[in-house]
Structure 1
Amino acid sequence: MSSSPSRKPLAIGAGVLVAALLLGFASYTATKPDAPAGGSSAVADVSADPRDGALPGLERLARRDAADPLAVGRADAPVVMIEYADFQCGYCGKFARDTEPELIKKYVEDGTLRIEWRNFPIFGEESEAAARAAWAAGRQGRFWEFHAAAYAEGAKEKGFGKDRLDALAREAGVADLGRFTQDVDSDAARQAVKKDQEEAYGLGATSTPSFLINGRPVAGAQPMATFTEAIEAAKQTADGNGR
């Protein structure tokens, strides 16, 4: 098991404090796995106004690596949404099943949006293992297929033990299961997950899912309208800046 992630703040200026305050509004109960499905607690107490909380300095956290297997969308898209999530988080699964496909169809496919995943396991050892497994699947170009399998309805209730992770890898179409097993237990996997964790903790994120949309923090499983408004506002700003 990897060592506990550092919570040392990122050295990216005063914007981190504002991000911490905004992300801190999302309560643990809004995103914990056993929160009532469909209940009002799914929506974190964060302003839905896309003009609120935009922090351009945080845009630098977008990696825009065209070879990143944990991202979808053009590397030069005007809007980047960074998603910090845990595979044991019930509302992360809800977002993955209900909202993310709509965002991909509406904004990723037309080149407006890029989604960059960050592993942010906060629910213990199995969350850590699932994060490493997702990273390992990505090494064989099957991250998003693993993501879909791990977030399928009822999937998290089966747990993320070793046999279950192997089954998810097979379901995702990972070709070399021997390599997958080695990658899951590798130092490289642990370091990649730790890097993502430290980034999220440095922003003050304490619950999942948490997002940055061109530097604007959004915490919790917000309604589709919140993401639409934030993406449209970010695109307008990016177009005005000549991106």
Structure 2
Amino acid sequence: MNIFSYHLVKIPFLDAIKHIASNPISTQVKGLIHAEYMTAMTLGSPIFSTSRILIGEVAVFMQWENETALENYLKLDSFGKVLANAWHVRLSFLRVWGKYTGFKIPDAEDLLGDSTSAVVAITIARMKPLAIPRFIHWGRPVEKLVRDHPGSLFSLASIKFPNTVSTFSIWKTEKEMTDMVHGHSQVSQPKRHSEAMKERQRKNFHFEFTTLRFKPLSEYGKWNGQSDIIPNTIEIL
């Protein structure tokens, strides 16, 4: 079965700098469909601050032909072994909006277990350089909305220079996530996301943009000492 995985890992500063220029993930990995190697960022933090771009914290988003290919990569590949000792979640595809080169979206969609099941949302885009100031203006309020939302269990952003940006968020339920998207949440300034989407439709920020929704299958390892970020999944330490 085609699966996705999302990994968070802390690596030495000098290795992080080197990997920004030289991706450590080979395109020849057996069973790997596509991978995005990115530097983690703190959602909603000031643009010019040390907390904005977290050099040394890496986010990797990958698509695999099957789970065996992922297992072999984590056991046999040099960088895969680094990821194996960190945190990751395995994901089953639910829905997609938009398109992004590299990933091969499955025809079949999975189903969430029930209305109380957790859901994972990932956005990824290639920015138009001249649109970046406008994107920041509209995007930072949305980042704060996602970061502070009571339905959000975990969230972060990431970047791959020069112009790839992404977000990753885990939600208690699909309804809480969709309420946030459409501006129906019982929070301050609930329409920040929907207003930003209207602005994107008016004048696009991106060359490519997609939003992907996933069912979390299993969680591995720890991130910042926590190993039970996603409820009701198989937890493997």
What TM-score do the two structures reach when normalised by structure 2?
0.30
Q: Which of the pair is proportionally richer in helix?
A: 1
Q: Which of the pair is proportionally richer in strand?
A: 2
Q: Greater RCO between the two (CA within 8 Å, min separation 6)?
A: 1
